[in-house]
Each structure stands twice: as C-alpha cells, then as structure tokens.
Structure 1
Amino acid sequence: MTYDARAIANALLDLASERGIPLTHMAVHKIIYYAHGWYFARHGKPLVRQEFEAWKDGPVLRLVWESLREAGAKPVTERATRLDPIFQVREIVKPNLDTDDQRFLGDILSAYGHIHAFELSEMTHAPGGPWDAVWNAPNRKVTLGMRIPHDAIRKHFQRVAASHQNA
C-alpha cells in the first residue's frame, strides 16, 4: 500500500518513541527516504505517495517538513498533521499501516535509527544516487521543484540490493 508521507512519519515517530530513540526532523526525512527506497526495491511500488525533493541536506518530504518544522534541530515530539477541509482544524495524520508494513518500518528503524542525522544526510549524498542526480544535475539542468523521481529511487535501491546479493 502507498501511504501519505505524514502517516509514515507518525508511524516512525511512534515506533522511535516506544524504543526510546530520539529522532530529529532531519533524521525523520532520511529514515523515511531509506524506508521508501528499500520498500520500493522489495515490493516494486512506493511506500509514500509524495515525491522527495533534493534539499541541501538531502531528500526531504515537503509535507512532512511543513508539519514538523517547529521541532527545529531538537528531537521531534509532536506528530504530523493535516488540515481537515470541512471543519478547518488541524488533525494528526493516523498511520494505519498494515502489520507487514509496520514490521518493515520497525526493521528500517532498527537499521537506521541509531545513525546520527548528519551521517544519514551524508549517506543520501552518495555520488550517482537519486539526490546527487537532481542536486548536481549535468549541464546545470534544473529539475522542477528539485523533485527526486520515484523511479530514480526505485532503480537506485534495486541496484544497491543487487550489488549486495552479488557480493
């Protein structure tokens, strides 16, 4: 199933809270990026429906950034929200992940949750990776909104998975 990025952020924050892992705003984006990439490589479909954008510090989901920006560089304690168009009030985006996707996200948190946000950011800057292809596009080609295409992320993580299987 493909989810709203804010739902994945909230599920990740809930899991991290249960495990006593403080996550900064930057770490949330990077861990979701890795979850999205590995999910895509495994299932052939995106985990989040929104596209990542290439920002200076790596891939960012604009809706998540807007919703959690109040945390700044401190660990995130609030949850991502959306505007209810009928009642014009902000409401927390409920994760509602199925059991397999919840377990998958927990595995991703186990793999990446202990890595400092700046190191995660550096990892996303790998030469030839999806962020690099947009941020450092040849011939100064500008990508509208600096969006990182889902397909570029899928192909990258499939290549990484294949190289690990062949190693």
Structure 2
Amino acid sequence: MKAYDMARYICAKKGKMNQLQLQKLIYYIDAWNLAILKSPIIDEDFQAWLHGPVVNELWQKLKSEGVESLYSPIFVGNIKQKKETIKEIKALASKERLQVTDDTLKTYGNETGYYLECLTREEFPWKAAWLGLDESIKFYDALLHWRTEASPGRDGSSTRAISKDLMKTFYEKQLDRI
C-alpha cells in the first residue's frame, strides 16, 4: 500500500492531525506489521530525517496539496468522504493488516507528533540510518557512536533509508518484551 493511501485511512479514522504525527503513525504501523506479520504494509521506504522517520514521497505529495510544514493540519473531508475512504482502503489490505493498523492507532494515535518524534528518534532503526551505521552493528556500539560522532544531515536533509529488515528485527524484539 502507498503511504498516501495509509495517510488517508488514518485521517479518516482519527480526524485532523499534522504531518509530523501522521508520518510517525505510518512508521509505527509499518513497523508493527513487519514485526507481527513479517512483511511491510507500506510500499515506500522511510528516510531518517531530523524530526524522525519520513516517507519522502508522502511529504512531497502533501506539499503539492498545500501542506507546507510538519505542523500544518491534514484531514479528510466530511463524514461521507471519511466512510468512503475507509471502505476504499479496507479493500487494499487484508483483515490481519488492518487489525495491526487499528491496534497501532489505538496505541499511538492520541500521542502528539512531538512525542512520537522523540520516541522514534530514541529507537535504533532511526539512529542507525541517521548515523549511517551498518545494520549489523551492536546496539551498544550504536549508542556510543550516537553520543560521540557528529551526524551528517543535522539540518534535516538526510535521505538515508531506514532498513525495513532492521525495523522488523527491532520491533520483533520489542514484542518479546510485551
């Protein structure tokens, strides 16, 4: 599924939000689909931007629709449009994928964009991509790099992809903690 379709689904279900929150919700939906169902729900890769994971294609699409910043509001129109959007997106994904998606929205959906930004930036998949670390590096070593090396792209311009394999492994380990 394209991130834009997931964005429409989320906005139809949750109502108005900003792009910062939306991008992070899509990230967590993909992460938990990877961990639980062993494959991604989102077609595109996430990039390690300054404010956390971002699907650049979604960013560009929303920008072309007038969403100028991370904090600009985004929403799906009236109730009829919301129902039509939800029905349309449900046809794109399996019942299991939608269950993981809805569970993820229940867990993270009421958090602010800033909270979700901070949360994603504390997790290894974003840090590894932001710093350009090899996926196989040990978590402890990555934290040492995090605290001691200057990071390229601190202006938010990083285009490094966050590895879906690393996301899968990291969030599977989080499942073990639940």
Shorter-normalised TM range: 0.7 to 0.9
The aligned amino acid for 2:125 is: P
1:9 and 1:23 map into 2 onto residues whose CA distance is 10
1:131 and 1:50 map into 2 onto residues whose CA distance is 16
2:125 matched to 1:130?
yes
Q: Which residue of 2 aligns with 1:146?
A: 160
Once the two structures are TM-superposed, the CA of residue 136 in structure 1 deviates from its matched residue by 2.2
Once the two structures are TM-superposed, the CA of residue 99 in structure 1 deviates from its matched residue by 3.4
Q: Deviations 1:98-136 (Å, cap 9, x if unpaired)?
A: 333333322211111111101100000115x10100112
Unpaired segments of 5 or more residues in structure 2? 78-84, 134-148, 153-157
Residue of 118, 127, 139 corresponding to 2:114: 118
2:95 and 2:37 map into 1 onto residues whose CA distance is 15
Check conservation: 1:29, 1:61, Cα contact below 8 A: yes
The aligned amino acid for 2:177 is: S
1:27-46 pair list within 5 angstroms: 27-46=21-40
The aligned amino acid for 2:129 is: V
Q: Which residue of 1 aligns with 2:94?
A: 98
The aligned amino acid for 2:44 is: Q
RMSD: 2.5
1:163 and 1:29 map into 2 onto residues whose CA distance is 25
Identity of aligned residues (%): 21
Q: Which residue of 1 aligns with 2:74?
A: 76
2:160 and 2:58 map into 1 onto residues whose CA distance is 16
| Aligned residue pair count | 144
Once the two structures are TM-superposed, the CA of residue 9 in structure 1 deviates from its matched residue by 1.3
User: Which shows bigger deviation, 3-12 or 100-109?
Assistant: 100-109
Q: Which residue of 1 aligns with 2:138?
A: none
Check conservation: 1:68, 1:78, Cα contact below 8 A: no
The aligned amino acid for 1:136 is: L
Check conservation: 1:15, 1:106, Cα contact below 8 A: no
Once the two structures are TM-superposed, the CA of residue 28 in structure 1 deviates from its matched residue by 0.7
Residues 44 and 98 of structure 1: CA distance in aligned 2, closer, same or farther (over 3 Å): closer
Unpaired segments of 5 or more residues in structure 1? 80-91
2:39 and 2:95 map into 1 onto residues whose CA distance is 17
Ranges of 4+ aligned residues in structure 1 off by more than 4 Å: 138-142
1:124 and 1:54 map into 2 onto residues whose CA distance is 10
Q: Which residue of 2 aligns with 1:83?
A: none
